[in-house]
Structure 1
Amino acid sequence: MAYDDTLTAQEERLWRALMRVIVALPRSLDEDLLRSTGLTLTEYVVLMNLSEAENQELRMADLAAATALSPSRITRVVDTLQSRGQVAKRRYAGDARGNVASLTPEGLQRLQAAYPVHLASARKHVIDHLDGRSLPAMVRQFEAVVENLD
């Protein structure tokens, strides 16, 4: 099946707006979190993924994949969180070369304190600017995009 590479004017507007969102939104969310909680958006996402994992722990490779970070970047973030007592890191029993990161009680407490700030930021920067009647369709459409990316 051949596709036409050109976009309609409306498709072009959507694409350009989405590209601006991809660049600007993480910066805005990061600034709000950092200013209010001392956590970066990346640290928040790491803590969130650990909190949702079985036993609140993940192999480092799985955590890197879940957060879309490189292995070296996830190591630096986890090391920073470990130095603050929010994450513990240990060798993975099934593979001496791998490590497991686990959420500590302090990390969970820090995440829970940051959660309302993150939601308020998401509401301020995104949700409040959307037509609520369009949300069900938008959810389905963006989930389809994500599914295609995964």
Structure 2
Amino acid sequence: MTTEWLTDEQQRIWRNWLRLNRELNATLARDMAAASDLSMADFAVLVKLTDVPSGRVRISELADELGWERSRVSHQLKRMQGRGLVERSECVEDGRGSFVGITEEGRETIGAAAPGHVESVRRLVVDHLTPEEYADLGRLTDRLLEALD
């Protein structure tokens, strides 16, 4: 089997993509830390919990949704529970697994952090693209995510 190497242009684009992801994540994390008491991991968990009407999900489902190992989720939830952002409960319906739910403190905390995060996303990405370019970005990321799935 022979390797089809990237062209110079493909390599440039690929390396810039990696750099963009690295620098964008680092900047978003710095902005989040400066504006709130949340880490990006805290924010990711709270977003997933506020995405469901009940505000609670199975811990295994949360791990799948975040793409994290179960041990990472457990450590993250333990820290967040200690700060009063989430609460754990056993699944009484089937006796298997546990749930995690957002607390009122968690709702207030993400409610306070979300506007600053949206401002960062706009400042760093959205405001630099036309609506058409942003739609193109959406289609491209959807296609790449489908390939990964």
Q: Which runs of 5+ in 2 are unaligned?
A: none
Structure 1 counterpart SS, 2:57: strand
Q: 1:98: how far off?
A: 1.4
Indicate the residue corresponding to 1:39 in structure 2.
Answer: 38
Indicate the residue corresponding to 1:60 in structure 2.
Answer: 59
CA distance in 2, matches of 1:93, 1:22: 41
CA distance in 2, matches of 1:93, 1:80: 24
CA distance in 2, matches of 1:10, 1:129: 22
Q: 1:137: how far off?
A: 1.6
Q: How many residues align?
A: 149
Q: 1:124: how far off?
A: 2.2
Which of 125-134 and 18-27 deviates more?
Answer: 125-134
Deviations 1:51-88 (A, max 9, x none): 01241111111111111221111111111111111111
Structure 1 counterpart SS, 2:6: coil
Structure 1 counterpart SS, 2:110: helix
Q: 1:129: how far off?
A: 3.1
Indicate the residue corresponding to 1:121 in structure 2.
Answer: 120
- Taking every aligned residue pair, what percent have the same amino acid on both sides? 28
Indicate the residue corresponding to 1:20 in structure 2.
Answer: 19
Which of 69-78 and 40-49 deviates more?
Answer: 69-78
User: 1:1-150 counterparts in 2 under 5 A?
Assistant: 5-150=4-149
Q: When the two structures are superposed, what TM-score results if normalisation uses the length of structure 2?
A: 0.89
Q: 1:94: how far off?
A: 4.1
CA distance in 1, matches of 2:80, 2:148: 29
Structure 1 counterpart SS, 2:97: strand
**One-letter amino acid of the counterpart of residue 42, structure 2:** E
Q: When the two structures are superposed, what TM-score results if normalisation uses the length of structure 1?
A: 0.88
**One-letter amino acid of the counterpart of residue 77, structure 1:** Q
CA distance in 1, matches of 2:109, 2:117: 12
Which of 17-26 and 108-117 deviates more?
Answer: 17-26
CA distance in 1, matches of 2:21, 2:14: 10
Q: 1:95: how far off?
A: 4.5
CA distance in 1, matches of 2:85, 2:68: 19
Q: 1:14: how far off?
A: 1.5
Cα pair distance change 1:89/1:116, threshold 3 Å? same
Q: 1:128: how far off?
A: 2.9
Cα pair distance change 1:7/1:39, threshold 3 Å? same
Q: Which runs of 5+ in 1 are unaligned?
A: none
